[in-house]
Amino acid sequence: MISQTSGIGWSLDESRMYYVDSLTRGIGVVDYDGASGGSGNRRLFAAVGGDGVVPDGLAVDADGCVWVALRGGGALVQYRPDGRLEQTLEIPAAHVTSCAFGGTDLATLYITTAAGPGTCGGALFSCRPGATGLPASPGSASHH
């Protein structure tokens, strides 16, 4: 059972749906059928957080990597499609809440933060991490 989802995204072929479960501190994945909208075979994609760090918003890039905001962790983490940690981007705010790719080339990663301890809380950051994003919803992807 999913207890509190705060981020969702799809694999490149739209056969898997990723979701953040903030209460269990994990990124889950389920098999997804775009035609019916059905899902099943729920499993853990990556364990994230602990000690006051909670996974929050999520985005998937054009390489199929999953980016997750770490509320209380001052960072974004990027996971490869197989669930292995690729990199961590430090953000100068404790409560990183979400991320999304944007711009005309979808190569700018926008990062939101919440007010709280640390510098720059409640701010919007952007960077060009060397990855590009995808359209936000399944079925509209131009990569088919």
Q: Are 143 and 62 in contact (CB under 8 A)?
A: yes
Other Cβ atoms within 10 Å of 72 Cβ, number:
20
Nearest Cα neighbor of 105 from 63, 133, 124, 130 is 133
Residue type, 126: S
Would residue 33 show up in a list of annotated catalytic residues for this protein?
no
Q: Which residues contact 124 (CB under 8 A, 6 or more apart)?
A: 110, 111, 112, 113
Q: Which of 13, 56, 61, 63 is labelled catalytic?
A: 56
Q: Tell me the two tokens of residue 87.
A: 């990199």
Active-site residue set: 56
